[in-house]
């Protein structure tokens, strides 16, 4: 890629900081819904299911950023696979392992926190399903060792795989690989996929048309107004009644995390339009990445993945060993527990989320060995 082409494709600093800011807001929103530290916050999140909205925004941002990365930095499918493995596997494996340790250590004593402890008897299967991201295929809905937020990662990882097949393969090879994935993963993955692809589409069409600035401002602000209007007037998980429940009747099993997909689709469209308009309006705006605000946002964003996957097992373990209850977080212990979570996430994230160069090297090594083994097999 020549310098001119790279300059055109390179993400603007303004958009980069904005995406990081959205990631921080979404990650904090998820933890605050799961463990609010005031009754007002609890009532707000209970009424809106805002954490689900945050997950949908994560899907859209992921689709945009992964498409950008594949189009700009990754020269082939090996690079693409290595980068995804280096980003996902260390955090996911450690999160499942820590969740299992905490679950086995204190799960029996706090059924109110950990729920059904039957995963103790099939823990190996649960562990394998979780680290292979097959815990949401077809009718399966395994939340590994009471780590609820992990559900969305299973869908997101397979969105990476599907997009990689679409982007790097051609002809019948692409068709056959996609068919295999569809049969293996089941309908829930197909329902989630358009939300992720909405972000990818926002990236690929970002410079395809020239729109008047007033139209771009409309696309920037109108989605926010529509979102607030819908959330203020509609009951929690309203689209399940109109869409999700009917699909479940046809399939004969629950959609679980994909059940509210009607609202998920609308929100994904709104978010992708907003992201598209922001890119077009502020692409030329020069944002100083060295100022305090930008540095703070980028610093916090560097730990959002760890925060998302680790906050539930850490908080549950703290509550279990201290004898506290979730309601105690509303009574003054919330700040202390949150502080402990953020400190733990900082140290864990420095190991599993900030060593991507090291993990990328390992991923390339594994992929290379696997490719060599396939070549030897094909010759024999």
Q: What is the pLDDT of residues 212-255, one digit of tens each?
A: 999 999 999 999 999 999 988 988 889 999 999 999 999 999 99
Q: Kindly tell me the burial class for residue 142, based on how many C-beta atoms sit within 10 Å of its own C-beta (0-12, 13-18, 19 or more).
A: buried
The answer to whether the CB of 33 falls within 8 A of the CB of 51 is: yes
pLDDT (average), residues 154-178? 97
pLDDT (average), residues 96-109? 94
Instruction: Check residue 287 and give its pLDDT.
Output: 74
The answer to whether the CB of 33 falls within 8 A of the CB of 45 is: yes
Of residues 25, 255, 301, the one with CA closest to residue 155: 255
Instruction: Check residue 41 and give its pLDDT.
Output: 83
Query: Does position 103 have pLDDT exceeding 80, yes or no?
Result: yes
Q: At what angle are helices 50-72 and 187-204 packed, to 10 degrees? A: 60
> Which pair of tokens denotes residue 41?
């916050």
The answer to whether the CB of 250 falls within 8 A of the CB of 148 is: no
Within its chain, how far is the Cα of 159 from the centroid?
10
Q: Is the dihedral of CA 140, 144, 149, 154 positive or negative?
A: negative
Q: SS3 sequence, the chain?
A: CCHHHHHHHCCCHHHHHHHHHHHHHHHHHHHHHHCCCCHHHHHHHHHHCHHHHHHHHHHHHHHHHHHHHHHHCCCCHHHHHHHHHHHHHHHHHHHHHHHHHHHHHHHHHCHHHHCCCHHHCCHHHHHHHHHCCCCCCCCCCCCHHHCCCHHHHHHHHHHHHHHHHHHHCCHHHHHHHHHHHHHHHCHHHHHHHHHHHHHHHHHHCCCCCCCCHHHHHHHHHHHHHHHHHHHHHCCCCHHHHHHHHHHHHHHCCCCHHHCCHHHHHHHHHHHHHHHHHHHHHHCCCCCCCCCHHHHHHHHHHCCHHHHHHHHHHHHHHHHHHHCCCHHHHHHCCHHHHHHHHHHHHHHHHHHHCCCHHHHHHHHHHHHHHHHHHHHHHHHC
- What is the extent of the structural domain holding 243? 3-379
Name the band, by pLDDT with cuts 50, 70 and 90, for residue 120: confident
Instruction: Check residue 372 and give its pLDDT.
Output: 85
Of residues 85, 82, 168, the one with CA closest to residue 368: 82
Non-local CB neighbours of 287 within 8 Å, separated by 6+ positions? 12, 13, 14, 17, 294
**Which string of b and e fits 160-195 if b means at least 16 CB within 10 Å?**
bbbbbbebbeeeeeeeebeeebeeebbbbbebbbbb
Q: What is the pLDDT of residues 253-302, one digit of tens each?
A: 999 999 999 999 999 999 999 999 999 999 877 777 778 899 999 999 99
The count of structural domains within the chain is 1
Name the band, by pLDDT with cuts 50, 70 and 90, for residue 4: very low
User: pLDDT: is 344 or 33 the higher one?
Assistant: 344
Q: Alpha-carbon distance 109 to 320, whole Å?
A: 8
* pTM more than 0.75: yes
Of residues 231, 226, 230, 264, the one with CA closest to residue 247: 264
Of residues 317, 313, 309, 310, the one with CA closest to residue 109: 317
């Amino acid at each position: 890629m020549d310098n001119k082409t790279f300059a055109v494709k390179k993400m603007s600093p303004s958009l980069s900081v904005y995406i990081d800011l959205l990631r921080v807001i979404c990650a904090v929103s998820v933890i605050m819904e799961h463990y609010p530290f005031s009754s007002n916050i609890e009532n707000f999140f209970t009424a809106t299911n805002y954490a689900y909205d945050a997950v949908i925004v994560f899907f859209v941002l992921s689709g945009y950023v992964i498409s950008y990365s594949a189009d700009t930095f990754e020269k082939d499918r090996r690079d693409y696979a290595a980068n995804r493995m280096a980003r996902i596997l260390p955090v996911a494996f450690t999160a499942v392992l820590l969740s299992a340790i905490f679950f086995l250590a204190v799960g029996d004593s706090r059924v109110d926190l950990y729920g059904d402890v039957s995963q103790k008897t099939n823990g190996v299967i649960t562990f394998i399903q979780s680290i292979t991201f097959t815990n949401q295929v077809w009718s399966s809905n395994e939340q590994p060792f009471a780590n609820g937020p992990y559900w969305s990662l299973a869908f997101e990882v397979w969105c990476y795989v599907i997009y990689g097949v679409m982007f790097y393969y051609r002809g019948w090879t692409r068709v056959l690989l996609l068919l295999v994935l569809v049969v293996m993963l089941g309908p829930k993955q197909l329902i989630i996929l358009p939300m992720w692809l909405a972000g990818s589409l926002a990236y690929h069409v970002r410079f395809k048309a020239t729109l008047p600035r007033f139209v771009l401002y409309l696309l920037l602000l109108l989605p926010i107004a529509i979102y607030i209007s819908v959330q203020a007037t509609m009951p929690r998980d309203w689209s399940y009644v109109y869409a999700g429940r009917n699909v479940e009747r046809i399939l004969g099993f629950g959609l679980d995390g994909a059940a509210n997909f009607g609202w998920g689709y609308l929100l994904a469209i709104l978010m992708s339009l907003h992201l598209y308009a922001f890119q077009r309006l502020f692409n030329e705006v020069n944002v100083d990445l060295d100022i305090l605000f930008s540095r703070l946002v980028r610093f916090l964003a560097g730990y959002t993945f760890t925060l998302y996957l680790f906050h539930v097992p850490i908080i549950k373990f703290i509550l279990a060993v201290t004898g506290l209850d979730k309601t105690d977080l509303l009574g003054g212990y919330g700040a202390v527990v949150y502080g402990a979570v953020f400190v733990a996430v900082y140290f864990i994230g420095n190991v599993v989320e900030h060593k991507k160069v090291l993990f990328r090297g390992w991923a390339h090594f594994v992929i290379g060995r696997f490719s060599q083994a396939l070549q030897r097999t094909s010759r024999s």
